[in-house]
């Protein structure tokens, strides 16, 4: 039992060293380490009483002290590799050198096709002066061959041209290996020959030498059968036919007339080969066989269940060939050409031209990529597909196909919700970053130049919603750079339609040094009307530019409602008349007694020095009339009683309006702002 265990341990060490030596360079430290491990395992085996030689059997290893059946798959593989190299007996002496063990491992790692004779392995070691390791090839009765009895010369052991002699009593394993090797070599040669017309022609000529057309037909059937299971059987069949058609007529006439055509009705291989012939080749075949033979074949083909499509095409080709042969003056076989004005041809031409238009090709490319993306999980989808889809969206926008761009975005960027930060980012996040870039969003701005604007504005709104905050930010930056007022208005309208997602980008523009950029942002915030923007709008009421303050007053009224009254009171004394009028009109709400003191200062201050001052005072009277509290009406009465000079026409207009207002008004009770808000 100890010897058996020692043998198994040595064989496993031999297998491990063999595999490791194949992975590392022979002189490397790793390879040397594995050889040393094998040497230590060999020394342990000798100490445990292992006696060489070790013989390789059909399913076991044996030694002078017994045998062990092989059940481990790895050891089965080692046994096969040794047998396939002609090694049926291995002997190692205790005084073996390390380099000799390395030579033995290199022998086991050599490709099996380099072992062309049964003595190749022994000669390999002999040529390298290995004396403490020996291998033996099979001889009589399965015993090792005597020196010289099987030595047919292998040279260096790397490129053998001879073959070893096998006597009738040779070991059955070695015979099986030899037969398998021969058959494998023949299969490989025939497979390579099936793609080489010149070599195949030479082989056909050799096979059919001496009139052996039967052997030629058998060779053709063998090639056809070998090709049946391959994916390129049509290619092989064409090579076979081309080589056959180059044979002399003396060979082709009996081959087609006595073998191939009769066999096509009953033999699938012959039928498949015949279905690959061209019309010219079929006419050439028809010259080698009687007409009656082709007619008979058309009848015979109907009696066997061959593939209907192939059979029908072959029957049509044979029938057409027979008809052409019956009319010598007929043009060469082939379908008649369609007239250039044929409706079918015109329709087909138009379909081909339509399919080649850039916009159609772009749409089909998008369909293919979207199918690729949707067929897998988003995180596992190929990144190049998302890059290509982003580029298709840009091409579609530039080429007047915004609907295609939206279709791509709807399929990939299904919403504008920011994705959680990931490292690396997901393909969807990278795609959204590309479509939200300047190159894409600037094309959206170009769409707004079209008239009427309704359609482009709807497209731009949906695009920005799908592109997300980054796209809105780029669009807002482009708004600040837009020189044309008409386009600016449309861009503001688009941002207003986007709604709340556009507010962060618009608020960031309130600090812009360009007054018109701030004004456009305020205008858009007023259109959106969301209360979250109110604190930022109040801060802009102090902006140095009057047109910005005017827009801030309007936005504060619309967004803040009653909460805007107190901040707006500061603007009733604004230096700019337009801002003053707007602010006064904003605070003039029914019952807003808090605004009366500031309005009194406006109305009872210095007289109207200009038409603008008169308009401000007129707006103040209207605001006080709207407030309609006793305090407000008291201010109006004081205005009526104020002395005016006849040459100050503006002052008289103010007093007259106050008189008319008081004549039609009754005082309202003063109400709190909370009560006003509840109305």
CA distance 40 to 62: 22
Output DSSP code: residue 38.
H
For residues 320 and 277, the answer to whether their CB atoms sit within 8 Å is no
For residues 495 and 476, the answer to whether their CB atoms sit within 8 Å is yes
CA-wise closest residue to 402 among 476, 451, 455, 478:
455
Q: Is the pLDDT of residue 210 over 50?
A: yes
Its pTM stands at 0.47
**Other residues' Cβ atoms within 10 Å of the Cβ of residue 363:** 17
Lowest mean pLDDT among 165-169, 293-297, 442-446, 650-654: 165-169
Phi, psi angle pair for 61, to nearest 5°: -115, 145
Output DSSP code: residue 421.
P
Residue 501: CA atoms inside 13 Å, Cβ hemisphere, count?
22
**Per-residue tokens: 379:** 């995180």
Q: Is the pLDDT of residue 163 over 60?
A: no
Residues present in the chain in total: 679
**Per-residue tokens: 645:** 């000079």
Q: What is the pLDDT of residue 141?
A: 33
Q: Ranked by mean pLDDT, which of 251-260, 308-317, 610-619 comes out on top? A: 251-260
For residues 582 and 614, the answer to whether their CB atoms sit within 8 Å is no
CA-wise closest residue to 115 among 157, 81, 151, 177:
157
Position 16 confidence tier, pLDDT thresholds 50, 70, 90: confident
Q: Is the pLDDT of residue 496 over 90?
A: yes
**Other residues' Cβ atoms within 10 Å of the Cβ of residue 366:** 22
Q: Where are the domains of the chain?
A: 2-178, 194-326, 588-679
Q: Is the pLDDT of residue 611 over 60?
A: yes
pLDDT > 90 fraction of the chain, expressed in percent and rounded: 14
Condensed to tens digits (0 to 9), the pLDDT of residues 25-53 reads 777 777 788 888 888 888 888 888 888 88
Q: Is the pLDDT of residue 463 over 80?
A: yes
CA distance 486 to 492: 10
For residues 259 and 224, the answer to whether their CB atoms sit within 8 Å is no
Condensed to tens digits (0 to 9), the pLDDT of residues 226-248 reads 777 666 777 788 888 888 888 89
Q: Is 225 helix (H, G, I), strand (E, B) or coil?
A: helix
CA distance 346 to 368: 28
Average pLDDT on 69-77 reads 81
> Judging by DSSP bridges, how do beta strands 54-56 and 89-92 pair with one another?
antiparallel
Q: Is 68 helix (H, G, I), strand (E, B) or coil?
A: strand
With the C-alpha atoms ordered 137, 138, 142, 146, is the resulting torsion angle positive or negative? negative
CA distance 16 to 461: 68
Q: What is the pLDDT of residue 648?
A: 57
Condensed to tens digits (0 to 9), the pLDDT of residues 280-332 reads 888 888 888 888 888 887 777 776 666 777 777 777 888 888 777 655 444 54
């Amino acid at each position: 039992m100890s010897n058996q265990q020692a043998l198994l341990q040595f064989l496993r060490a031999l297998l491990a060293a063999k595999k490791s030596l194949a992975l590392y360079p022979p002189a490397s430290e790793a390879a040397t380490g594995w050889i040393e491990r094998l040497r230590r395992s060999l020394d342990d085996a000798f100490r445990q009483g292992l006696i060489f030689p070790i013989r390789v059997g059909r399913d076991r290893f044996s030694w002078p002290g017994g045998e062990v059946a092989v059940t481990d798959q790895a050891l089965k593989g080692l046994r096969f590799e040794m047998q396939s190299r002609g090694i049926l007996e291995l002997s190692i002496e205790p005084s073996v050198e390390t380099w000799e063990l390395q030579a033995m491992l290199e022998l086991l790692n050599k490709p099996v096709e380099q072992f062309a004779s049964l003595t190749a392995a022994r000669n390999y070691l002999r040529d390298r002066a290995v004396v403490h390791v020996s291998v033996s090839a099979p001889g009589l009765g399965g015993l090792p061959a005597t020196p010289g009895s099987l030595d047919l010369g292998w040279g260096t052991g790397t490129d053998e041209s001879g073959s070893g002699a096998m006597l009738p009593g040779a070991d059955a394993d070695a015979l099986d290996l030899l037969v398998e090797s021969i058959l494998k070599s023949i299969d490989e040669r025939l497979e390579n020959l099936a793609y080489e017309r010149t070599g195949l022609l030479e082989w056909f000529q050799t096979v059919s030498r001496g009139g052996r057309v039967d052997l030629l037909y058998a060779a053709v059937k063998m090639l056809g059968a070998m090709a049946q299971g391959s994916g390129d059987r049509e290619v092989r069949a064409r090579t076979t036919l081309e080589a056959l058609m180059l044979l002399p007529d003396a060979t082709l006439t009996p081959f087609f007339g006595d073998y191939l055509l009769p066999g096509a009705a009953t033999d699938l291989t012959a039928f498949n080969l015949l279905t690959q012939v061209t019309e010219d080749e079929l006419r050439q075949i028809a010259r080698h066989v009687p007409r009656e033979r082709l007619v008979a074949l058309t009848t015979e083909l109907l009696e066997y269940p061959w593939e209907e499509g192939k059979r029908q095409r072959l029957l049509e080709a044979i029938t057409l060939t027979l008809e052409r042969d019956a009319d010598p003056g007929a043009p060469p076989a082939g379908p008649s050409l369609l007239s250039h004005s044929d409706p079918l041809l015109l329709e087909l031409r138009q379909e081909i031209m339509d399919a080649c238009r850039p916009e159609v090709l772009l749409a089909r490319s998008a369909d293919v990529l979207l199918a690729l993306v949707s067929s897998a999980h988003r995180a596992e989808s190929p990144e190049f597909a998302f890059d290509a889809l982003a580029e298709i969206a840009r091409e579609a926008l530039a080429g007047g196909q915004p609907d295609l761009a939206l279709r791509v975005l709807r399929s990939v960027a299904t919403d504008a919700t920011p994705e959680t930060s990931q490292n690396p980012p997901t393909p969807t996040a990278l795609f959204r970053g590309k479509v939200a870039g300047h190159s894409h969003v600037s094309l959206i701005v170009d769409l707004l130049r079209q008239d009427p604007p309704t359609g482009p504005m709807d497209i731009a709104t949906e695009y920005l919603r799908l592109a997300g905050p980054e796209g809105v930010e780029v669009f807002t930056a482009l708004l600040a750079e837009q020189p044309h007022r008409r386009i600016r208005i449309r861009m503001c309208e688009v941002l207003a339609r986007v709604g709340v997602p556009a507010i962060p980008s618009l608020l960031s523009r309130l600090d812009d040094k360009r007054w018109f950029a701030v004004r456009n942002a305020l205008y858009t915030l007023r259109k959106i009307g969301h209360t979250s923007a109110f604190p930022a709008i109040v801060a802009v009421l102090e902006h140095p530019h009057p047109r910005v303050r005017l827009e801030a007053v309007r936005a504060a009224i619309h967004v803040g409602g009653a909460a805007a009254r107190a901040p707006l009171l500061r603007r009733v004394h604004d230096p700019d008349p337009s801002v003053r009028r707007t602010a006064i009109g904003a605070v003039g709400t029914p019952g807003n007694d808090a605004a009366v003191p500031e309005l009194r200062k406006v109305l009872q201050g210095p007289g109207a020095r200009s038409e603008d001052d008169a308009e401000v005072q007129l707006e103040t009277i209207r605001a006080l009339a709207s407030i309609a509290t006793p305090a407000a009406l008291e201010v109006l009465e004081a205005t009526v009683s104020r002395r005016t000079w006849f040459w100050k026409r503006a002052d008289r207009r103010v007093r007259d309006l106050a008189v008319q207002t008081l004549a039609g008004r009754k005082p309202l009770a003063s109400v709190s702002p909370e009560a006003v808000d509840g109305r």
